[in-house]
Structure 1
Amino acid sequence: MRLATYNVEWFANLFDSDDHLIIDDGWSGRRDVTRAQQAEALGKVFSALDADAVMIIEAPNTGRNQNTVRALENFSSAFDLRTNAAIMGFANNTHQEIALIYDPEVVTARHDPVGQSVGDPEAPRFDSSFRIDLDVDATEDQVRFSKPPLELEVKTRQGTALRMIGAHLKSKAPHGARNRDAAMRLSIANRRKQLAQAIWLRRRIDQHIAQGASVMLMGDLNDGPGLDEYEHLFGRSSVEIVLGDDLYDPHARRALERRLGAHPTTARFKMHKGDRYLQALLDYIMVSPDLMSHRPAWRIWHPFDDAHCWELSDLCEALLLASDHFPVSLDIDI
């Protein structure tokens, strides 16, 4: 079967207040891309991907009127996708939810959050607070997820049970900084918070593995070795913390082993200054050791780096119009 993770930039902007897909010439949230262009590009990408389940990062909004599940099911219906069922966990206030779309003939999924919401000193439920001393001042700080990870109990048609976690860790960008010193303070504070979130996430993974569960972590960790100049202050990236010694993702492992030279990338951003693009490895599918015996094969659907994508000009164009991230898929016999 094929599982995938995909960060869809400003997916929420493609739906009206009743969660109907908007396909017109109005601008989407993407630069110089209309809603029709982005929606149609996404339809092509999801059709080509043909996954049994896709973890959507930055899924459409859930709010007073809008509903993520309804929007995603409307999207799947519009493009006749077999992933026509959707599920999400705790809503957030960022208009960027985490949700899974899946083929109900192949997969069943249930939101199954773990941990106590109050007073759990080890790994509380992801919609609550995590207490940790972030700056070694003997005072506990309270950390919250702006986008609580999605914890699912998943079962495949073959009967395999998975603990699947969708995650989108906080970006380290120093938004709101008015000068260089303020930007530095915000960047360091944001990195501390992100590393705390990674520790929280890793503790949940440890709990599942200790109970003998098959674990799959999917999503955008917004971090990687060597991604910014503040990493040396803390010793490890959040990717290294979450990966630990037992989870495996070949792209993450390769990047960690090769600090210099080429390594895989899953995102491509236009830089604010100049006429260049920044490429980064941000999106991952990490699996527990027991899943390594099920012939896993990873693929980044990069329009320039993946030979099969490059050979299909329509797919290349769709990938570039659809999002600033590219899907990552995992083919695995489960």
Structure 2
Amino acid sequence: MIARRLALLLCLYGLFSVAFLTVNARGNWDFVLWFRGTKLLGISLVAVAIAVATVLFQTLTHNRILTPSLMGFDALYALLQTVLVFTLGGFGFSQLSAQTSFFSSFTIMMVASLLLFGSLLGKSVDGRREDIHRLLLTGIIFGVLFRSFSSFLQRLIDPNDFVVAATSAMASFNSINADLLLVSSLMIAAALVATWRMRFDLDVMALGRDAAVNLGVHYKRQVYAMLVIIAALVSVSTALVGPVAFFGLLVSNLTYQLLPTHRHAILLPAASLLSACVLIGGQVVLEQVLNLSTPLSVIVEFLGGLTFLILILKGRNR
């Protein structure tokens, strides 16, 4: 049954990809395939990064209603964009190269996350669950602080610059820069290889700290490794398209319902495929049926937030 469902997801991904590349395609096919192909690759990379990061985060926290956005990554990204607009102005910000914006966002988010992890978990002797909870609470507090500071700066800037800052802080799947895809692919591939090598340890860690330690897993080292991978995946995806807070929650819980297993060798590829199907299929519908009347990120956030509320009300966090 699991193999058939994985094969179905793979077929759906192929179907949506072909539809994305060919539906209503006119003119020079070389240009069309290159233009749509770069967007397809970018969307696929973001989908895989968000799905894997969310599954890892939920395994680490033993809670299926939490996402890496609780660590304040999206708020930090929005603050960074606002600070750049505040400092350079809307015109100066628009003159920044895509590479400069990408690497500055990625570097700042990675440094901030490593400092946070090192300061809060470095004092821990064995990486207990209480340390993870303290890390989550600290991330939430920093997220509120970043959002408040962003709001303060946005009140000080020119209204035209405010529009630039607000737009840059929103996720966009229509303007993925092709020049960033190679470096993004390499970063995400490295994180995925490291995650795949940990897949059996992840199965054990899902049982809890005590069970993992008793079964021979170096728990604290694995916690550090998982947090670094999560930070890298979220940083790359956020720097590439912008923050998507609840999308990972949506696809991870759909994956748990579709494939009721605790084996990460199945959950990780299934969540990645499902995530790509949702984003690519949604983009096809928005472009070809709804004529881009609303951004895909708005619909994704709405569905993800609705999923979050349903899970909270049902009390199903495990």
TM-score (norm 2): 0.26
Q: Which has the higher contact order (CA 8 A, sep 6+)?
A: 2
Q: Which protein is richer in helix relative to its size?
A: 2
TM-score (norm 1): 0.25
Q: Which protein is richer in strand relative to its size?
A: 1
